[in-house]
Structure 1
Amino acid sequence: MVSLKACQSRIELIVKSQSSPLPSAARPALLIFGILLIAANLRAPFTGVAPLLGMIRANAGMTATEAGMLITLPLLAFAIVSPFAAGVAREYGLERSLFAALVLIGAGIALRSAGAVWCLYLGTAIIGGGIALGNVLLPSLLKRDFPDKTVTLTSAYALTMGVGAAIASVIAIPLAHLFNSEWRLVIGVLIVLPVVAALIWLPQLRNRTSPAKDTATPPHGGEVWRSALAWQVTLFLGLNSFVYYVAVSWLPAILHDAGFSSDKAGSLHGVLQLATAVPGLLLLPIVRKMKDQRMAAFIASIISMVGLFGLLLVPALAMLWIIFFGLGAGAAIILGLAFVSLRASSSHQAAALSGMSQCVGYLLAAAGPPLVGRLHDASGNWTAALAICAALCLVMALLGLLAGRAMHISSASIGRATAKAI
Structure 2
Amino acid sequence: MSPSLRRNLLTLIGILLVAMNLRPALTSISPVLRNIGEVMQLSAAQQGILTTLPVLFLGLSAPLAPLSARRMGMERTVLLAVLLLAASLAIRPFSGTAGLFIGTALAGACIGVMGVLLPGIVKRDFPQATSLTTGLYTAIMCLGAALAAGATEPLRLAFNENWSPALAFWCLPALTAGLVWWHQSGETHKPAARPHTPRSLLTDPLAWQVTLYMGLQSSLAYAVFGWLPTILQDRGLTPVEAGLALSTSIMSQIVTAITAPWLATRMRDERFMVTLVMSLTLIGIGGCIYAPANTLWLWVVILGLGQGGTFAMALTLLALRSRDPATAARLSGMAQGVGYTLAAFGPLITGILHDVFHGWEVTGVFLGVVGAVAILAGLGAGRRRHVLEH
Return 5+ residue gaps in structure 2 as ranges: none
In the alignment, what sits opposite 2:360? Answer: 382
Alignment-derived partner of residue 88 in structure 2: 108
Are 2:14 and 1:37 equivalent residues in the alignment?
A: no
What is the match of residue 54 of structure 1?
34
Q: Flag the 1:344–1:304 CA change in 2: closer, same or farther, 3 A.
A: same
Q: Per-residue displacement from partner, 1:18-72 (whole Å, max 9, x unpaired)?
A: xxx9988765544433332211111112222111111111111112221122232
Residue 101 (structure 2) aligns with: 121
Q: Which residue of 2 aligns with 1:304?
A: 281
Max Rg structure: 1
Cα deviation for residue 410 of structure 1 reads 5.8
Report the counterpart of residue 257 of structure 1 in structure 2: 234
Change in Cα spacing, 1:94 to 1:392, as seen in structure 2 (3 Å) is closer
Partner of 1:404: 382
Give the Å deviation of 1:202. Answer: 2.7
Q: Which amino acid is the alignment partner of residue 324 of structure 1? A: I
Instruction: Give the AA of the match of 2:382.
Output: G
1:157 corresponding residue in structure 2: 137
| Residue of 30, 47, 66 corresponding to 1:86 | 66
**Are residues 1:360 and 2:331 paired?**
no
Contact residue 278 and residue 306 of structure 2 kept, 8 A: yes
**Farther off after superposition, 342-351 or 101-110:** 342-351
State the match for 1:186 in structure 2: 166
Match of 1:288 in 2: 265
Which whole-Å CA distance do the structure 2 matches of 1:36 and 1:229 have between them? 29
SS at match of 1:259: coil
1:229 aligns with 2:222: no
Q: CA deviation at 1:402?
A: 3.0
Residue by residue over 1:323-380, the C-alpha shift from the partner in whole angstroms, topping out at 9 and shown as x without a partner, is 2122222222222333334445666655443333222210121111122112111121
Deviates more, 1:403-412 or 1:160-169: 403-412
Q: Does residue 136 in structure 1 map to residue 113 in structure 2? A: no
Q: Does the 8 Å contact 2:280/2:302 carry over to 1? A: yes
In the alignment, is the contact (CA less than 8 A) between 2:117 and 2:329 conserved in 1? no
Could you tell me how far 1:316 is from its partner in structure 2?
2.5
Say which is worse superposed, 360-369 or 343-352, in terms of deviation: 343-352
Deviations 1:214-234 (A, max 9, x none): 9xxxxx996543444333332
Offset of residue 145 of structure 1: 3.0
| Residue 50 (structure 2) pairs with residue 70 (structure 1) | yes
Q: Report the equivalent of 2:318.
A: 340
Distance 2:323 2:128 in 1: 21
**Higher alpha-carbon deviation: 149-158 or 102-111:** 149-158
Moved more, 223-232 or 53-62: 223-232
Task: Note the C-alpha offset of 1:143.
Answer: 2.9
1:275 aligns with 2:275: no
User: Residue 283 of structure 1: SS of its match in structure 2?
Assistant: helix
What SS does the aligned partner of 1:89 have?
A: helix
Percent identity over paired residues: 34
Report the residue type matching 1:201 in the other structure: W
The correspondence of residues 205-224 of structure 1 with structure 2, limited to 5 A, is 205-210=185-190, 224=201
1:284 offset after TM fit, Å? 2.1
SS of the residue corresponding to residue 344 of structure 2 reads helix
Partners of 1:35 and 1:56 in 2: CA distance: 32
Q: In structure 1, what is the Cα distance between the partners aligned to 2:73 and 2:236?
A: 50
**TM-score normalised by length of structure 1:** 0.84
Q: CA RMSD in A?
A: 2.7
Please say if residues 45 and 190 of structure 1, whose CA atoms lie closer than 8 Å, have aligned partners that are also in contact.
yes
TM-score, reference length from structure 2: 0.90
- CA shift for structure 1 position 242: 1.0
Which residue number corresponds to residue 181 of structure 2?
A: 201
Distance 1:145 1:235 in 2: 27
**1:281-303 deviations in whole A, cap 9, x for unaligned?**
11222323321222222222221
Which stretches in structure 1 are left out of the alignment for 5+ residues?
1-20, 215-219, 413-422
User: 1:326-337 maps to which residues of 2 (within 5 A)?
Assistant: 326-337=304-315
The number of equivalent residue pairs is 387
Partners of 1:345 and 1:410 within 8 A in 2: no
CA distance in 2, matches of 1:358, 1:394: 20
Specify the alignment match of 2:372 in structure 1.
Answer: 394
1:76 deviates by 1.7
Instruction: Return closer, same or farther for 1:379/1:211 CA change in 2, 3 Å cut-off.
Output: farther
Change over 3 Å in CA distance of 1:26–1:351 after alignment to 2: closer
Structure 1 distance, partners of 2:75, 2:108, is 19
Per-residue deviation, residues 62-114 of structure 1 (Å, max 9, x unmatched): 12221122232222221122232122122112222121111110111122122
CA contact (8 A) 2:31 2:242 kept: yes
Residues 208 and 298 of structure 1, relative CA distance in 2, 3 Å threshold: closer
